[in-house]
């Protein structure tokens, strides 16, 4: 297969390299088009007010891909419209450092890259590990290649899936669950500080919701399962659309 | 009502001022927490790797609100968790310069601010005008106050709506339509240029899809209707979820 890789941790991160090696070993044609540096939590942002610069990257004497000073969604658009000589069969975004589950899915550059590929009509997988330290990238890369093979063979309408992997040794993984996105809001926290010139500033931090909804991505991930959530890019709330009577403008 | 305003064009833009004046005239308590400068197409990005600075803004001797060096979604989180002394009854994001319809909804900072409010359990309206020049902000602000009143009275489950207004004089508006988001991908274009040092760079531009899906936000907006689309923040594709058989990891 022709596989395009991207991420939001940047082209030099370990996650994307592990993914690259794992897929190359399987004989796939792999191209990397990824942000030049970290772009965590940029969501589905696009770079429209600044020019986008592109730089070819080599690893161990071989062409590895392109570093883009833009967002993960920019990378996908630029790769498909400009940089690649043919349309990829599959896009994989990751392997992300830290889970992308629940409301985080909306903030995630990793997932947005997969969504962007889906918008362009290409099958796509976002893949993340539920940890910020002790990350088992080798196992995640191993899982990714199997999921890639399966997803491309599956005759399913859905174009994008969001995969999260517990940071556990392989024998402690409980299984795989296809599950929905949790919608509980996270615990928001803003840490207030004062700079040396007396100005106030804030650091934004958040943690998983206190109340974990049953049978959701967060729920199963915390129980040691690999989670797969099919993702869509139509934000219409159809459950409401028929019940609306538009207002009168006076 | 207690109304919180934000946008992605920045706190000093005409759209948010028009909205402020229109709502104040109606007797509402209005607070503005908006980005310090333009943040178009930032989608649902959050500022987590940099500190967020906040500055109080005055207009005509009166306290107008806070300028935040962050994204529209940051503004909502910071306002609700830190800056406001009480929870708002309603959030309005806009009035945006340029329509936010179809796939653009995913890239839009304006819509993401409304979605963020909805995540936090607050009713929210994103409002945009379909033009980049000759914008009739007065009419849009007039419409916004009526839609705000109606939306807060409506006993509907949906927490966020995305409103788009044609840039037409009031008597030429065809009516109001509750409609779904179009999902056709836009016409992508990257303009290639060379800088004075010989480096290649790209400008990203896009235009409405060639093929306009019937009975969608783009379709009705182009026919002169004000469009209202209820928006959700659960990206799960439920149409696929039951059909999935998870893969086996070898």
Q: Is the confidence at residue B175, as pLDDT, over 80?
A: yes
State the Cα–Cα distance between residues B21 and A132, nearest whole angstrom: 46
Half-sphere exposure of residue A101: CA atoms within 13 angstroms, side-chain side: 31
Cross-chain CB nearest to A181 (options B46, B115, B236): B236
pLDDT reported for residue A250: 66
Best of A180, A205, A206, A240 to mutate (most B CBs within 10 Å, chain B): A240
Grade residue B208 by pLDDT with cuts at 50, 70 and 90.
Answer: confident
What does the DSSP 8-state code read for residue B250?
-
Test A247 with B183 for CB contact under 8 angstroms. no
The C-alpha of A60 sits at a distance from chain B's nearest C-alpha, in angstroms, of 24
Q: Name which of A229, A235, A241 is nearest B178 (Cβ-Cβ).
A: A241
Chain B hits for A151, Cβ within 8 Å: 247
Whether the per-residue pLDDT at B180 is higher than 80: the answer is: yes
List CB contacts (< 8 A) between A149 and chain B.
247
B24-51 pLDDT per residue, tens: 999 999 999 999 999 989 999 999 999 9
Q: How much helix, strand and coil, in percent to the nearest 5, is found in chain B? A: 30, 30, 40
**Looking at residues B49-62, what average pLDDT do you find?**
93
Tokens read off for B123: 């009713």
**For an interface test with B, which of A43, A194, A221 has the most B Cβ atoms less than 10 Å from its Cβ?**
A43
Provide the pLDDT for residue B134. 78
- Measured between beta carbons, which residues in chain A are less than 8 angstroms from residue B73? 43, 107
What are the angstrom distances between the C-alpha of B104 and each of A23, A56, A123, A154, B110?
33, 29, 20, 29, 10
Which residues from chain B sit within 8 angstroms of residue A243, using beta carbons?
156
- In chain A, the percentage of residues whose pLDDT exceeds 90 is 84
Check if the beta carbon of residue B161 is closer than 8 Å to that of residue B184. Answer: no
Per-residue burial over B73-99, b if 16 or more Cβ lie within 10 Å, else e, is: bbbbbbbbebbeeeebebbbbbbbbbb
What percent of chain B has a predicted confidence (pLDDT) above 70?
Answer: 100
Percent helix, strand, coil in chain A, to 5, is: 30, 30, 40
Q: How far is B108 from chain A (nearest CA, A)?
A: 8
**Low-confidence stretches of chain A (pLDDT beneath 70):** 250
Euclidean distance between CA atoms B177 and B224, whole angstroms: 10
Identify all chain B residues contacting A190, using CB atoms and an 8 Å cutoff. Answer: 52, 77-78, 81-82
Q: How many CB pairs under 8 A join A and B?
A: 260
Over the stretch A108-164, which tens digit does the pLDDT of each residue have?
999 999 999 999 999 999 999 999 987 889 999 999 999 999 999 888 889 999 999
Q: For chain A, how far is it from start to end, CA to CA, in angstroms? A: 58
Assembly ipTM: 0.93
The number of beta carbons lying within 10 Å of the beta carbon of residue A169 is: 9
**Domains of chain B and any CATH numbers:** 2-183+212-241 (3.40.1210.10)
Residue B55: pLDDT over 80: yes
Strands B160-166 and A52-59 turn out to be unpaired
Predicted confidence at residue B160, as pLDDT, reads 97
Report the largest interatomic distance among the alpha carbons of chain B, rounded to a whole angstrom.
69
Question: Quick check: B60 pLDDT over 80?
Answer: yes
Residue A246's pLDDT is 78
Q: Which residues in chain A have their CB less than 8 angstroms from residue B166's CB?
A: none
On chain A, the residues whose CB falls within 8 A of the CB of B119 are 103, 106, 183, 185
Q: Do A244 and B42 touch (CB under 8 A)?
A: no
pLDDT tens for each residue of B85-105: 999 999 999 999 999 999 999
State which residue of chain A sits closest to B226, comparing Cα positions: A246
Yes or no, beta carbons of B181 and A112 under 8 Å apart: no
Tell me the per-residue pLDDT of B112-132, one tens digit each, with 9 for 90 and over. Answer: 999 999 999 999 999 999 999
Closest partner residue to A246 (CB to CB) among B41, B105, B176 is B176
- B226-246 pLDDT tens trace: 999 999 999 999 998 877 777
Please choose, from the candidates B24, B36, B128, the residue with its C-alpha nearest in 3D space to the C-alpha of residue B75.
Answer: B36
Give the model's pLDDT for residue B250.
65
**Gap between the Cα atoms of A177 and B249, Å rounded:** 12
């Amino acid at each position: 297969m022709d596989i395009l890789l991207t991420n939001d941790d940047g082209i030099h991160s370990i996650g994307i390299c592990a993914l690259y090696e794992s897929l190359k070993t399987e004989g796939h044609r792999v191209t990397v088009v990824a942000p030049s540096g970290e772009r965590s939590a940029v969501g589905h942002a696009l770079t429209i007010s600044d020019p986008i610069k592109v730089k070819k990257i080599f690893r161990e004497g071989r062409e590895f891909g392109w570093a883009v000073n833009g967002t993960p969604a920019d990378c996908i658009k630029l790769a498909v419209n400009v940089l690649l000589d043919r349309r990829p069969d599959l896009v994989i975004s990751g392997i992300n450092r830290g889970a992308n589950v629940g409301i985080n899915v909306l903030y995630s550059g990793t997932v947005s890259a997969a969504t962007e590929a889906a918008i362009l009509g290409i099958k796509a997988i976002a893949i993340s590990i539920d940890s910020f330290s002790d990350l088992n990238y080798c196992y995640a890369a191993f899982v990714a290649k199997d999921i890639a093979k399966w997803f491309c063979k599956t005759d399913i309408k859905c174009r994008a899936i969001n995969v999260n992997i517990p940071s556990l040794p392989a024998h402690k993984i409980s299984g795989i669950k296809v599950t929905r996105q949790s919608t509980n809001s996270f615990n928001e926290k803003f840490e207030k500080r004062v700079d040396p010139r007396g100005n106030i500033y804030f650091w934004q931090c958040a943690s998983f919701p206190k109340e974990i909804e049953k049978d959701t991505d967060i729920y199963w991930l915390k129980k040691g399962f690999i989670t797969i959530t099919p993702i869509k890019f139509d934000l219409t709330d159809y459950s409401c659309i028929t019940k609306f009577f538009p207002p009168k403008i006076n």
